[in-house]
Amino acid sequence: MTDAAHEHVTPAADALEIEAGAKRRLADEYDAAQERGEVQRRGGDETSKAEVPKVSDIGLTHKDIHEARLIRDAEREEPGIVKLRSQEELSKPTAAADVTAAAKEIELIAIRAGAELSAEHLHAIAVALRQLTLPAPRHAERDRLLIECRGRFYSRYSDHAAAQDLCASWRRYEATAWIRERAADACPQRHVGTEREFFWRMLRACPRSLSADRVRRIFGRLS
């Protein structure tokens, strides 16, 4: 990387970290508001839900919340990943039209999240985010499997109860059979069609189980 390019990347990456931090705060505040019953969440009594503000009532969209949670959760799982991906993406060329469109979208998100960014910073963020995708693909695969497992084995449970029971079984498998089966090229046949098939595939994607609270948040992305 040239000196000129490095001079561009460093402040731009700092700006991206600021914007990502604003998104992480947005995710935390929204989740906390859901816990307090101040905004609607998936499920629950329809009559009581009618009295609670929807996400659109507070000037946000489900996409805003989903993206904020992705960044927040990815950074929790791999601290520093936002900065690493920013540096990678900032070194790539970006078409002017893409930068302009992305800058407008990011400016709205940053304003909603309470970030105080200059026009120069917003432009740099747009460059960085054009192809930036979080979390890493292996996390996305694990999360997809978690949601599929919930649908197959815990569809009648609330998010909280499903997360508690699923995680208890997942941790038991991780501490016992997984120790012997982790080196297998494919899921053992005896587990196919059972919860343990999902546990084996999730641990192959990401080599450790998650807390019940973390899993509940993943389920909450559907809300």
pLDDT tens-digit map of 126-166 = 555 554 444 455 788 899 999 999 999 999 999 999 999 99
Question: Rounded to whole angstroms, what are the CA distances from 50 to 44, 47, 59, 71, 221?
Answer: 11, 5, 17, 30, 20
Kindly report which listed range (102-116, 171-185, 200-214) carries the lowest average pLDDT score. 102-116
* Confidence (pLDDT) at 184: 92
| Closest C-alpha among 144, 134, 18 to residue 76 | 134
Average pLDDT, the chain: 74
Token code pair at residue 17: 């970290």
Q: Is the pLDDT of residue 190 over 90?
A: yes
Dihedral of alpha carbons 190, 194, 199, 201, sign: positive
Q: What is the pTM of this model?
A: 0.44
